Structure 1
Amino acid sequence: MFEVNDLTKVYPGGRGIQGLNLTVQAGEVVALLGPNGAGKTTALQAMAGWIGADRGEACWNGVSVADRPEMTRPYMGLMIGEPSPYLYLTGYDYLRCYHKLYPGVDEARIRQTLELVGMTKHQDMKIKKYSTGMKQRLELASVLLHRPKLLMLDEPFSGMDIEGRREISMMLRGLVAETGMSVIVSSHQVHDMEDWITHACLVYEGRHVHTSGIAGIRESYAGVEDYYLHHLAQERRGAAV
C-alpha cells in the first residue's frame, strides 16, 4: 500500500502542492488530474522522494519514502519530467545501462521490455533519431525493467499519436491486471485512461481538491472528463468570488 498524508511542498511565489492525501492499494490506478501549473509534477516528485517536503510524507507499506529510500525505491518505477535518455546510445544499449542497477534483470528481460513497449524494431537505432513518442516509450521501458510494484508516470502519453497512446494505455492496463501493480499517472489525455483507472485525484492551483473512485464518478457524471470539468469550474468560480 502507498499512502500520502498531508504532503506539502511550496516554492517561492506559491507554486507547488499543499495538503495532498492519497491511498493507493495494490492493483489500483489513480489519475492525477489538473490544468498546467496545478502542481501535478511537484506532487509526483515529492511522493517519489525526489524533493523534500515542507510537511507530510509518503509511505510505502508504512515506510517513509524520503527517510528510507533504500527500502522503498526498489519497489517503485518513476517516470517524472521530460524524458532525457543519452542521445548517442541505441535504445538497447540505454536499457543495458540500467540492468546492472536491478538484481534479476538480464538480457532476456531487456528484450521482453522493449517488446512490451513496442520498441523492438527501433532498439538498434540511435536515440538522437527517435521521435518524442519513441523517447517516451524508451523511458517507460527503463522504469519497467525491474517490474516495480508501484509506477509513477508524469504525462506518459506526451508526444504520442492516437495509436501510440492507445497501445501504451492497453499495455499498462494489462500489466495492472496481470501483476497487481499500482499506478499513479498524471495526464491530460483523460479519455485514453478512463476505462482502466480506478480513482481520479484532482489538484488545482497547488491544492488537493477532490478524490473519487471511478464507480462513484460514473454514478454522477457522464465520465471522468465531465467530473474533472465540473470540479474545475467550481474551483474557478470560487476563486472569482
Structure 2
Amino acid sequence: MFTVNDLTRAYPGGRGIQGLNLTVQAGEVVALLGPNGAGKTTALQAMAGWIRTDRGEACWNGASVAEQPERTRPYMGLMIGEPSPYLYLTGYDYLRCYHKLYPGVDEARIRETLELVGMTRHWNLKIKKYSTGMKQRLELASVLIHRPKLLLLDEPFSGMDIEGRREMASLLRGLVSDTGLSVIVSSHQVHDIEDWMTHACIVNEGRHISTAGVVQIRESFGGVEDYYLHHLARERGEAI
C-alpha cells in the first residue's frame, strides 16, 4: 500500500503542491488531474523522494520514501519529466545499464521488457533516431524492467499519436489487470486514462481539490471529465 499524507512543497508565487492525501492499494490506478502548472509534477517528484518537502511524507508499506529509500525504491518505477535517455546508445544498451542496479535483471528480462512495450523492432537502433513516442516507450521499459509494484507516471502519453496513446493505455491496463500493479498517473487529458483509472484526484494551483472513486464519480457526474470540469469551475467561481 502506498500512502501520501499532507504532502506539501511550496514554491514562490504559489507554485508547488499543498496538503495532498492519497491511499493507493494494489491494482488501483489513481489519475492525478489538473491544468498545466497545477502542481502534478511537483506532487510526483515529492512522492518519489526527489525533492524535499515542507511537510508530510509518502510511504510504501509504512516505510518513508524519502527517509528509507533502500526499503522503498526497489518496489517503485518512476517516469517523471521529459524522457532523457543517452542518445548515443541503442535501446538495448540503454536497458543494459540497469543490469547492475536491480538484481534479477538479465538478458532475458531486457528482451522481455522491450517486447512488452512494443520496441523489439527498434532494439538495435540508436536512441538519437527515436521519435518522442519511442523514447517514451523506452523510458517505460526502463521503469518496468525490475518488476515494480508501483508506477509513478508523469504525462506518459506526451508526444504520442492517437494509435500510440491507445497502445500504451492498453499495455498499462493489462499490467494492472495481470499483476496487480498500482499506478499514479498525471494527465491534463482525461480521455487518455478515463477507461482504466479507478480513482481521480484533482489538483489546481497547487492545492488538492478532490479525490473520488470512478464508480462514485459516474453515479454523481456521469463521467470523469464532467467531475473534473465541475470542480475546476467551482474553484474558479464560475457558474456550474
- Short-chain TM bin: over 0.9
Instruction: Please tell me the residue identity of whatever aligns with 2:11.
Output: Y
User: 2:211 matched to 1:207?
Assistant: no
1:84 Cα deviation from its structure 2 partner = 0.3
Residue 138 of structure 2 corresponds to which residue in structure 1?
138
SS at match of 1:146: coil
TM-score (norm 1): 0.97
**Partner Cα separation in structure 2 for residue 219 and residue 22 of structure 1:** 21
Q: Distance in 2 between matches of 1:169 and 1:107?
A: 26
CA RMSD of aligned residues (A): 1.1
Spell out, residue by residue over 1:151-205, the C-alpha distance to the aligned partner (whole angstroms, 9 max, x if none): 0000000000111101110111111111111000001232121111100000000
CA distance in structure 1 between the aligned counterparts of 2:188 and 2:234, rounded to whole angstroms: 19
Maintained 8 Å contact 1:157/1:189 = no
**Following the alignment from structure 1 to structure 2, what is the Cα–Cα distance between the partners of residues 111 and 229?**
42
Once residues 225 and 133 of structure 1 are traced to their aligned partners in structure 2, the CA distance between those partners, rounded to angstroms, is 25
Show the counterpart of 1:38.
38
Corresponding residue for 1:89? 89
The amino acid of 1:78's aligned partner reads L
Q: Are the equivalent residues in 2 in contact too, given 1:200–1:214 (CA < 8 A)?
A: yes
Q: What stretches of structure 1 of length at least 5 have no aligned partner?
A: none
SS in 2 for 1:176: helix
Distance in 2, matches of 1:187 and 1:100, equals: 32
Q: Deviations over 1:110-134 (max 9, x none)?
A: 1111111111111111101111111
Match of 2:13, SS? coil
Could you tell me how far apart the structure 1 residues matched to 2:222 and 2:124 are? 45
Looking at structure 2, the residues matched to 110 and 36 of structure 1 have their Cα atoms a distance apart, in angstroms, of 34
Distance in structure 2 (CA, Å) of the matches to 1:39 and 1:236: 16
Equivalence map 1:94-109=2 (5 Å):
94-109=94-109
CA distance in 1, matches of 2:88, 2:195: 38
Question: Where do residues 151-162 of structure 1 align in structure 2 (5 Å cutoff)?
Answer: 151-162=151-162
Give the corresponding residue for 2:172: 172
1:13 aligned partner, one-letter code: G
1:77 is the counterpart of 2:77:
yes
SS in 1 for 2:21: strand
The share of aligned pairs that are identical, in percent, is: 84
1:188 counterpart = 2:205: no
Q: What count of residue pairs does the alignment treat as equivalent?
A: 239
Q: Give distance in 1, aligned partners of 2:179 and 2:203.
A: 28
Q: Which moved more, 1:229-238 or 1:85-94?
A: 229-238
Q: How far apart, CA to CA, are the structure 2 residues paired with 1:92 and 1:26?
A: 30
SS of the residue aligned with 2:83?
A: coil
In the TM superposition, residue 143 of structure 1 has moved relative to its aligned partner by 0.2
> Which amino acid letter does the alignment assign opposite residue 39 of structure 2?
G
Q: Distance in 2 between matches of 1:155 and 1:29?
A: 14
3-state SS of paired residue (2:95) = helix
Query: Are 1:16 and 2:13 an aligned pair?
Result: no
Using the TM superposition, give the Cα deviation of residue 100 of structure 1 relative to its aligned residue in structure 2, in angstroms: 1.6
Distance 1:190 1:14 in 2: 25
Task: Give the Cα separation in 2 of the matches to 1:25 and 1:174.
Answer: 17
- What is residue 55 of structure 1 aligned with on the other side? 55
CA distance in 2 between partners of 1:97 and 1:200 (Å) = 35
| Rounded Cα–Cα distance in structure 2 between residues aligned with 1:190 and 1:12 | 29
What do residues 3-51 of structure 1 show as CA deviations (whole Å, max 9, x unaligned)? 0000000012221000000000011000000000000000000001000
Matched, 1:126 2:130: no
Tell me the equivalent position of 1:66. Answer: 66
What are the superposed Cα offsets for residues 124-148 of structure 1, whole Å, 9 maximum, x if unpaired?
1110111111100000000000010
d(CA) in 2 for partners of 1:189 and 1:206?
18
User: For 1:189 and 1:141, how far apart are their aligned partners in 2?
Assistant: 23
Instruction: Give the structure 2 partner of residue 223 of structure 1.
Output: 223
TM-score, normalised with respect to structure 2: 0.98
Distance 1:12 1:228 in 2: 26
